[in-house]
Chain A
Amino acid sequence: MTTAAHQQPATDKNASTKGAISIRNVTKIYDPKGANVLAVDDCSLEIAPAEVCMIVGPSGCGKTTLLNAIAGFHSITSGQIDLDGEMLCGPDKPLADQGADRVVVFQNGALFPWKTLADNVAYGPIVQGLMNKADAREKAISMLSEAGLSGVADKYPGEVSSGMARRAEIVRALINDPKVLLLDEPYRAMDALTKSIMHESLLEVYDRTRVTIFFITHDLEEAIFLGDRVIVMTTRPARTKKIVEVKINRPRDYRLLSSEEFRILVQETKEAVHEEAVKAFEAGERELA
């Protein structure tokens, strides 16, 4: 199914025009000659520029697969994905080129352990040949300071908390001025308190940059709190089951969590996800039996 482009809330002052993702009838089959795993089936989704699009769905339903296809980490079997009207991958070009216009923040964190946070952040502009080392470092340090990380710019990822590392990783993505941030359960292993700090910092970044965000999560409250829309995926093969529109004004803060409006939306999403989770569970049992 296809959804109409999303309307930005009225509070949006500097409406962005870049970062529209159009996913049309995308199917992904892993190992078509062997195991033949249908991971994504005829999935369509339109994401507007500067939208925060949250993806939820049962484990193993194909969310990461979809993200990897957008990022160009693997090919699609059929369908087409466009970014701002230009084809990333499609009929004659199943694998999208990887590019700094779509930077990924990974589930387990992928800061390079052998580089300091500042050098990690400076990496993109340097390898792309956009800046020399000194300039890139300078910009990296100033961006880290903006994110409240000036004190740890010269530390290695192993020396800072997971929350700081994850924030630095988002800074490392943003320095490339991407059109789209692709986040794959970035706050999965975090405690509630750290998570809430992460959310505030991500919303702050979003309000400042208006980058399109494609965000996979298991956490429905996180999805509603951050998102403009929440896409509930079906159990594998992934299709869009339900789209929850979150028409809550930005900037948002934590008072929202206790509002009636918020709880209704979470409940609505939970019901849709639960149905799919039950299906996934039963399918899993059948496979075992």
Chain B
Amino acid sequence: MGKASKRQETLGARAKALVSDLTFRRGVLSILIFLTLWEIGFRFNEWFGVMVPFVGKVDAPSIVATRWSDVVLLPGYWESWYLSMGRVFLGFLIAQIIGIPFGLAMAVNKYFRGMFFPPFEILRPIPPLAWVPASIIFWPTTELSIMFVTFLGAFYTIVINVLGGARAVDIQYLRAAQSMGATQWDLFRKIILPGTLPSIFIGAAVGMGITWEVVLAAEMISGGGQQSGGGLGFFIWSSYMGGVMDQVIVGMISIGLAGYISSSLIRYIGYRSMPWRRMF
């Protein structure tokens, strides 16, 4: 009981600190200015009879907000969130689980690197979306093929970052550890691994961004078949096909939010697991 109220207190204190934080205020202010300009840009035609190019054709934030308040009541909208999030996280997670050990193995073992780096480098330039047709053919379900291209989107970035990061670990750290009696396994676990951690998180942050790009495109391409469909990409696509422009914008902003939530999560985990980088 006491614990819970204490927690609330600190949460309240944190919220207060946040609101009084200048950076936070500046962020809110810039978003408000952006929305206001957008609204004025759209209303210009109505008010002064002058059509502002580009912005004049994009439904104003007030319209989008109204649409959004309707859309949030639809279960399909939340299902789209759920499906896209699920694909992104699974594809991303598998890419991490395979990519990190793969990158590390290439970094520490030159035979392994000699064997796997060339094919990796040949496959890497192929954009993940170019894999869509092929993966629809060789994966039994559309769901799996979407997941596969999502995986690819993150995989290359993760591996390249881990490989580069692990190879860039300062040789002096390795020498220092060895001169204090570290074994090869100690070197790997206590030096290479923490030394690579910053690069692992850079790879994760960049990979996460790519994953969102890829999953949306894949959802648009594969469409809303019976087997699998939906997702925020399909949500936008079907809104567009139905001519509901304000709903397209709802979808776009939803993706922005989803991406922001994902990258905040990664930043948070990075912050927790690298206490020594907090002061930078």
Contacts and interface: CB of A to CB of B under 8 A. Distances in A.
Interface string A149-177: 00000001111000000000000100010
Given A156-B275, A156-B279, A159-B279, A112 B173 contact: yes
Contact of A127 (B170, B172, B182): B182
Given A73-B175, A127-B186, A158-B279, A114 B195 contact: yes
B138 interface: no
Interface in A99-113: 99-100, 102-104, 106, 108, 110, 112-113
A108 B180 contact: no
| Most chain B C-beta atoms within 10 Å of own C-beta, residue among A72, A73, A102, A114 | A114
A123 interface: yes
A156 B276 CA distance: 6
Given A112-B191, A127-B186, A71 B179 contact: yes
A123 B181 CA distance: 9
Contacts of B191: 112
Contact of B180 (A72, A103, A157): A103
Nearest to A100: B181
Given A112-B173, A114-B276, A102 B195 contact: no
Q: Is the interface of A mostly helix, strand, loop or mixed?
A: loop
A106 B178 CA distance: 13
A128 interface: yes
Contacts of A123: 177, 180, 190
Contacts of A72: 179
Contact of B181 (A128, A158, A159): A128
Interface in A57-93: 71-73
Interface in B149-207: 170, 172-173, 175-183, 186, 190-191, 194-195, 197
B190 A127 contact: yes
Contacts of B180: 100, 103, 123-124, 127-128, 172, 176
Contacts of A172: 180
A112 B172 contact: no
Given A156-B275, A158-B276, A158-B279, A112 B181 contact: no
B280 interface: yes
A112 B178 CA distance: 13
A230 B165 CA distance: 40
B137 interface: no
A239 B107 CA distance: 38
Contacts of B276: 113-115, 156-158
Given A127-B177, A127-B183, A128-B181, A114 B172 contact: no
A156 B183 CA distance: 24
A267 interface: no
The listed residue with most A CB atoms (<10 A of its CB), out of B173, B176, B180, B197, is: B180
A98 interface: yes
A98 B190 CA distance: 18
B274 interface: yes
Given A156-B276, A158-B276, A110 B172 contact: yes
Interface string B69-107: 000000000000000000000000000000000000000
Nearest to B195: A114
B183 to A, nearest CB: 7
Contacts of B170: 110
A113 B172 CA distance: 12
Given A112-B194, A128-B181, A104 B176 contact: yes
A222 B173 CA distance: 26
B181 A124 contact: yes
Nearest to B174: A110
A39 B186 CA distance: 32
Nearest to A124: B180
A106 B195 contact: no
Interface in A131-161: 156-159
A104 B177 CA distance: 10
Nearest to B176: A110
A109 B278 CA distance: 20
Contact of A106 (B176, B274, B279): B176
A124 B179 CA distance: 9
A114 B176 contact: no
A115 B280 CA distance: 15
Given A104-B176, A106-B176, A114-B197, 16 more contacts: A98-B175, A98-B179, A99-B181, A103-B179, A103-B180, A108-B172, A110-B172, A114-B276, A123-B177, A127-B182, A127-B183, A128-B180, A128-B181, A159-B279, A176-B180, A176-B181
Interface of B: 170, 172-173, 175-183, 186, 190-191, 194-195, 197, 274-276, 279-280
5 contacts: A73-B175, A100-B179, A115-B276, A123-B177, A158-B280
The 6 closest A-B pairs by CB, nearest first: A124-B180, A110-B172, A128-B181, A114-B194, A156-B276, A110-B176
